[in-house]
Amino acid sequence: MARAAAKKVKPRKRLTGDERRESILEAALGCFLEKGYIATTINDIREASGATTGSIYHFFDGKGALAMALLEDAFAGWSGESAAASEAPEAVIRASTTGLVNWGLKNPELFRFTDEIRTLSATAPEFAGVADTLIEGQGSAASSYSKFVKAKKVKDLPWPVAHSLILGPAYNYLRLATTGRSRVAAKRAAEMLADAAWASVKA
Amino acid sequence: MARAAAKKVKPRKRLTGDERRESILEAALGCFLEKGYIATTINDIREASGATTGSIYHFFDGKGALAMALLEDAFAGWSGESAAASEAPEAVIRASTTGLVNWGLKNPELFRFTDEIRTLSATAPEFAGVADTLIEGQGSAASSYSKFVKAKKVKDLPWPVAHSLILGPAYNYLRLATTGRSRVAAKRAAEMLADAAWASVKA
Amino acid sequence: MARAAAKKVKPRKRLTGDERRESILEAALGCFLEKGYIATTINDIREASGATTGSIYHFFDGKGALAMALLEDAFAGWSGESAAASEAPEAVIRASTTGLVNWGLKNPELFRFTDEIRTLSATAPEFAGVADTLIEGQGSAASSYSKFVKAKKVKDLPWPVAHSLILGPAYNYLRLATTGRSRVAAKRAAEMLADAAWASVKA
Amino acid sequence: MARAAAKKVKPRKRLTGDERRESILEAALGCFLEKGYIATTINDIREASGATTGSIYHFFDGKGALAMALLEDAFAGWSGESAAASEAPEAVIRASTTGLVNWGLKNPELFRFTDEIRTLSATAPEFAGVADTLIEGQGSAASSYSKFVKAKKVKDLPWPVAHSLILGPAYNYLRLATTGRSRVAAKRAAEMLADAAWASVKA
DNA sequence: GATGAATGAGCTTTCATTCAT
DNA sequence: AATGAATGAAAGCTCATTCAT
């Protein structure tokens, strides 16, 4: 009845703290992108990263915190892509649209991931507050817009409406593109959407 | 193996099949809207409906099937709201936008619910196929649009782009309105968005 | 929210009591043979028979009783096959062996079904008592054998041993044949096993 | 979604992985032998082992995996008992028979357990493949037999038939002995069956 | 830092059986 | 004789998190 130990101990590569942290983040991202946040378990991340459960909890406060950390990275990437060449209203607004579209087309799973978290934020307390960041964008966007309004460069629309006109089509397009159905010339789409966005809000 | 016979039968109000079915659906909807689909348990629905677990499974194949049944209702309501007064391109397209906005403002939790399911459909097999319905709308929309294109009433845009211009702002607006932050004159918003939608696609 | 009744009522063919009883038995047999007793649910039988749950319980005392009824039929078939042409010891013993093998090869799933119930009888109270019938055979077999012993036609072996020599190889062969692996000339196998059985016990 | 943190940690004796694993296996065996595999629940095993549900699933993939692990042990014990003193055909074949009988008489519940699993293997996917091991024995047995055939030491019988002649009576005898009815001199039975087995197949 | 055993409430789902109609 | 809604205990299993080592 005596039985041999079931699992050989896989000798684990020794990593420094930062490397371990990094490898966990990477693995978590891979899992979240592949199966979605909800369907991913800590165990999945453990297996993918080669870390132990305890290690994961040593570096992060849990699954939610892991997602939040990744979300910040994602958001940074998106922001970078949305930087305008000039401060001119048209440039700024077009860059918002094309930045989102281009970033999303480059990182389709990442877009889906952010979208999932945004949805969950409606009911999951650990993601409360994410909605603002994700949907309102850079926060400063609203105040930029109101400056443009004062300068009579754009229509005096309520910000939610303006936001919807500028980014709504882009989001929608990414959802379509991300769902694997439609396929359309990527570059052109971003421009078409930016054209429309600017046309919709310009004074 | 032999399941123990149910010992005490606490007589419960006897409903007809349809009544019970209805009460379960209603309770499920209430729970889904209140706590979200994911956070809702069968037990919640059981308590809210007064049915037994077995009864719920007698009428529905599970939580997913329950959601699907409700989704169809939701979709029907939205479709109804989007009916245009005439077949004129402008009327049709404006109705798409205002229909979605008005329906969503009238049923904010229901909108959130559909949005949650759409998000989950990316990874949850039980909701595969939902995405098409929810995001592409009535299916016939694409062909309507191409008829308008042929009639030179609207721009010859790829359908995903046109879809994004027509409904993207509306969706976005509803997400903002639904997240409990912004508040804007409801009626006016629908019109503003419809104006922009039509302006974006008209020939 | 009002929804149409979910299921069209399939008009059910009106059967007489006996016909209904028969159709239930038949359906139950089909299910038991196909998926095994344990894996078969009353619901499976309901669907296969076209009867309603209530009907099934009207005619039978439950799943166990259904199995018992079928078991008796099975046993009758097996007994019939085992009838010897004469009362001569050799004929009787050979017929026991060939009868079992031939019956089992003709009704492989039925053999498996009886084997499953026999196994369950060790722990399931509803089948207590089945073991005797199934494993000891016709009950009278033991006394037949002791008559043969007295007539010095066969060895004076303890009945369990004799039983094992006469039927054990046949059972084993059927299990092999039934498991879908081996294939051997059916007729010949029965004879070989009968030869050996007789040789093993003859005086 | 976010699982509630385990509130109160009732400290339990800390065992090494192997100890806990062992205790679970032992408890599972006890339950399976006492009530049968089917009638045993995870909860039974939990109570018997003192482990928590989670611990059981930490070490084993479920009830089926637990049974498989135990089955391997059982099989090893049986194999050990069947080892022949020499390579002579008669010794090998007699050892097969007596080994099975003796092992089964020493471990009657274990025999019953293996028999139950064999039966279930016909329909339960988790036990597919068990049948071969359990019913065909050591795999090498067939090739041993064919060597004996070539050496003209035994009859040139199809393997299923030979297998049935050698082990069928033994299995049958154990089923009788295990069902708690008959009682016969154990030692003598093994020999009688071995005598017959050898007589049936010797050239 | 690192490990991985341990926790245990809670999940979805099953199903033999009952009984009001 | 027939219906099928209702029952509800119990099943197998999950998994975020904790913490002794």
Question: Which pLDDT value is given to residue B6?
Answer: 44
Tell which wins on pLDDT, A47 or C6.
A47
Distance D55 CA to F12 C1' (A): 14
Q: What is the CA radius of gyration of chain B?
A: 21
- How many Cβ pairs within 8 Å bridge chains C and D? 143
Tell which wins on pLDDT, B133 or A26.
A26
Question: Which pLDDT value is given to residue A186?
Answer: 61
* Interchain contact, A6 vs D26, CB within 8 Å: no
Nucleotide F18: closest residue by CA–C1':
D6
Nearest chain D residue to A6, by CA: D18
* Interchain contact, B120 vs A157, CB within 8 Å: no
Instruction: Work out the minimum CA distance from C1 to partner chain B, whole angstroms.
Output: 6
Question: Which pLDDT value is given to residue D174?
Answer: 94
Instruction: Work out the minimum CA distance from C5 to partner chain B, whole angstroms.
Output: 6
Distance CA(C63)–CA(B9), nearest Å, equals: 21
Distance CA(D173)–CA(D193), nearest Å, equals: 9
Question: Which pLDDT value is given to residue C169?
Answer: 97
Question: Where would I find the H helices in B60-139?
Answer: 63-81, 89-106, 108-120, 130-136
* Interchain contact, B165 vs A112, CB within 8 Å: no
Instruction: Work out the minimum CA distance from B4 to partner chain A, whole angstroms.
Output: 35
Instruction: Work out the minimum CA distance from A39 to partner chain B, whole angstroms.
Output: 8
* Interchain contact, C176 vs D119, CB within 8 Å: no
Report the residue from C1, C6, C38 with minimal CB separation from B1: C38
Closest CA to B149 of C66, C87, B141: B141
Tell which wins on pLDDT, A203 or D1.
A203
Q: Is the pLDDT of residue D79 over 80?
A: yes
For residue C197, the one-letter residue type is A
Question: Which pLDDT value is given to residue A13?
Answer: 64
pLDDT-derived band at B125, boundaries 50, 70, 90? confident
Residue A138 in tokens: 């850079």
Residues of chain A with pLDDT under 50: 1-9
Nucleotide F5: closest residue by CA–C1':
B17
Distance D61 CA to F18 C1' (A): 22
**B60: nearest nucleotide, CA–C1' criterion:** E13
DSSP letters, D150-161, are: HTTSB----HHH
* Interchain contact, B168 vs A173, CB within 8 Å: yes
DSSP letters, D159-191, are: HHHHHHHHHHHHHHHHHHHHTTS----HHHHHH
Nucleotide F20: closest residue by CA–C1':
D14
Instruction: Work out the minimum CA distance from D13 to partner chain B, whole angstroms.
Output: 33
Question: Which pLDDT value is given to residue A3?
Answer: 42
- How many Cβ pairs within 8 Å bridge chains B and D? 4
CB-based burial label for C130 (10 Å; 0-12, 13-18, 19+): buried
Question: Where would I find the H helices in chain A?
Answer: 17-35, 42-49, 53-59, 63-81, 89-106, 108-120, 130-136, 140-150, 159-178, 186-201
**Which nucleotides of chain E does any protein CB come within 7 A of?**
1-21
Closest CA to B171 of B84, B93, B103: B103
Collapsing DSSP states into helix, strand and coil, what is residue D202?
strand
**Straight-line distance from the first to the last Cα atom of chain A, in angstroms, rounded to the nearest whole number:** 84
Question: Which pLDDT value is given to residue C123?
Answer: 87
**Which nucleotides of chain F does any protein CB come within 7 A of?**
1-21
A-chain residues near D29 (CB < 8 A): 1
The mean per-residue pLDDT over the stretch B20-36 comes to: 94
Residue B45 in tokens: 């629905």
A and D interact (at least 3 Cβ pairs within 8 A)? yes
Distance CA(C62)–CA(B114), nearest Å, equals: 44
Nucleotide F2: closest residue by CA–C1':
C55
Question: Which pLDDT value is given to residue B1?
Answer: 46
Q: Best residue in C97, C135, C176, C202 to probe D by mutation, most D CBs within 10 Å? A: C176
Question: Which pLDDT value is given to residue B87?
Answer: 92
**D8: nearest nucleotide, CA–C1' criterion:** E7
**B18: nearest nucleotide, CA–C1' criterion:** F5
A-chain residues near D73 (CB < 8 A): 1, 3
* Interchain contact, C6 vs B59, CB within 8 Å: yes
**Close Cβ partners of D110 (under 8 Å, ≥ 6 residues apart):** D29, D33, D74, D77, D104
* Interchain contact, D21 vs A1, CB within 8 Å: no
For residue D139, the one-letter residue type is G
| Structural domains of chain B ordered from first start | 17-60 (1.10.10.60), 72-201 (1.10.357.10)
Q: Is the pLDDT of residue C46 over 50?
A: yes
Instruction: Work out the minimum CA distance from B61 to partner chain C, whole angstroms.
Output: 12
* Interchain contact, A38 vs D1, CB within 8 Å: yes
B-chain residues near A200 (CB < 8 A): 169, 196, 199-200
Distance A166 CA to E10 C1' (A): 44
Nearest chain B residue to C123, by CA: B1
Whole-model pTM: value is: 0.87
Nearest chain D residue to C35, by CA: D123
The mean per-residue pLDDT over the stretch D161-190 comes to: 83
For the stretch C121-156, pLDDT in tens is 988 888 988 877 766 555 678 888 999 999 999 999
Distance A30 CA to E14 C1' (A): 35
Distance CA(C168)–CA(C184), nearest Å, equals: 18
Tell which wins on pLDDT, D141 or C53.
C53
Distance B151 CA to F14 C1' (A): 57
Question: Which pLDDT value is given to residue C140?
Answer: 77
Question: Which pLDDT value is given to residue A62?
Answer: 95
Question: Which pLDDT value is given to residue A4?
Answer: 42
Question: Which pLDDT value is given to residue C11?
Answer: 52
Give Cα separations from A13 to A19, A20, B79 (angstroms). Answer: 11, 10, 57
Residue D168 in tokens: 């069928």
**D18: nearest nucleotide, CA–C1' criterion:** E5
pLDDT-derived band at C188, boundaries 50, 70, 90? confident
Residue A106 in tokens: 């480059």
Instruction: Work out the minimum CA distance from B44 to partner chain C, whole angstroms.
Output: 20
Distance CA(A94)–CA(A97), nearest Å, equals: 5
Nearest chain B residue to D40, by CA: B1
Name the average pLDDT for chain D.
87
Give Cα separations from B66 to B27, B61, B73, B77, C1 (angstroms). Answer: 10, 7, 11, 17, 13
Closest CA to A113 of A78, A81, A67: A67
* Interchain contact, B21 vs C3, CB within 8 Å: yes
Nearest chain C residue to B71, by CA: C1
Q: Chain centroid to CA A4: how far?
A: 47
Tell which wins on pLDDT, B105 or D181.
B105
pLDDT-derived band at B185, boundaries 50, 70, 90? low
Nearest chain B residue to A34, by CA: B123
Contact C57, C24 (CB under 8 A): no
- How many Cβ pairs within 8 Å bridge chains B and C? 22
Question: Which pLDDT value is given to residue D6?
Answer: 44
**Close Cβ partners of B53 (under 8 Å, ≥ 6 residues apart):** B42, B43, B46
Nucleotide E17: closest residue by CA–C1':
B5
Distance C101 CA to E12 C1' (A): 45
**Highest mean pLDDT: which range of B35-44, B119-128, D12-21:** B35-44
Collapsing DSSP states into helix, strand and coil, what is residue B58?
helix
A and C interact (at least 3 Cβ pairs within 8 A)? no
Tell which wins on pLDDT, D56 or C203.
D56
Q: Is the pLDDT of residue D10 over 60?
A: no
